[in-house]
Amino acid sequence: MRLAFLLAVSLAAGCASDTIVLAPTPVTAASGAITFDTSGSIQRSANGRSFVLGAPTSISGELNYPQGSGPFPAIVLAHGCNGNRNTERAWGPTLRQWGYATFVVDSFKSRGIDEVCTKGSTLVPLQRVPDAYGALRVLAANPKIDPQRIVLMGFSHGGALTMLAATAWAKETFVPAGQPAFRAFFPFYPNCNAVFPERDRVSAPLRIHTGELDDWTPSRPCADLATLLKAAGQDVAINVYPGAHHAFDQARGKIFLPAVGNGADCFPRFPSLLGPFPPGAGGPPSCVKRGATVAGNPAAAAQARTNLRTQLEELMN
């Protein structure tokens, strides 16, 4: 149980074992709600000490195109721990105005989950990595999408997913040889606290966006990680927005959420992303707290839009 709490509030970890057999991807150019298969699944092992690869599951997403005939570059959007409530409103119209198709993936609805902010072990970010790669497969088969220009952008819980999806391990596990991969990754206010070997190698450019005053997923570990990876030759950069809290681009007003799990003070070290992990001592570790602040910051949100647009133009060409 102790391990489950650490994984839920930091990143989770997995054990890739059996080969995943994927059905052919349906070819469609339809917009609106789309049901699709994930690129396998990641499930807890019987003893709870590791994660193993499993069969695909069916989830849904909302695909929308910008004006024009395409083929369009596309952005897969991964929501936070409160589900698919704010992502489209905050970013969809802006991204489409810039000329990008948007595919907002809903990792919760088909799994019968309403939120994981207060019950993080229900579905950890690692378990959503196959969701993102399933969305990539669907878009890459779409004749209105340019398969070589698809990126992943996620927020909070979805930001942690994006960090994990950016690892070379994820690409090697979920992208068949010769098939299109993500062009770049854009995590917003992810948790960067956990240390594990696989995080040291990314498969494509990684651009982190986070708030200076974030007390839920703090900016300093992300800044330190970006410095470390960049020094090692990885294509990683970070934007830290002064005076900005968690969800600075989506929250309305400033709110303290007393019930949410908060691992800001947890700095777990894992021997490998693949496990196995030592048995837990029971109960959450003492570093896990309850409560975090979310606060909108129009100035930071505007600067993030400017920075993101520049980064997209640079990395998509």
Rounded mean pLDDT for each run of 10 residues along the chain, 317 residues in total: 51 41 60 93 87 95 96 98 94 98 98 95 94 98 97 98 98 96 98 94 98 98 98 98 98 97 92 73 75 98 98 96
When the candidates are 3.40.50.1820, 3.40.50.970, 1.25.40.10, 3.30.830.10, the CATH number that belongs to 2-316 is: 3.40.50.1820
Counting every residue, how long is the chain? 317
- Long-range contacts for 94-97 (Cβ within 8 Å, ≥24 apart)? 94/305, 96/64, 96/65, 96/66, 96/67, 97/66
The β-bridge partners of 206 are 185, 236
Output the pLDDT for position 121.
87
CB 119 within 8 A of CB 198: no
Quickly list H helices, the chain.
2-9, 87-97, 129-140, 157-165, 168-174, 219-231, 298-316
What pTM value is reported for the model? 0.92
d(CA 211, CA 214): 5
Output the pLDDT for position 37.
97
The β-bridge partners of 293 are 256
Output the pLDDT for position 67.
96
Output the pLDDT for position 271.
84
Output the pLDDT for position 15.
35
User: Where are the chain's structural domains?
Assistant: 2-316
C-alpha 99 chain-centroid distance: 22
Cβ count near 243 (within 10 Å) = 12
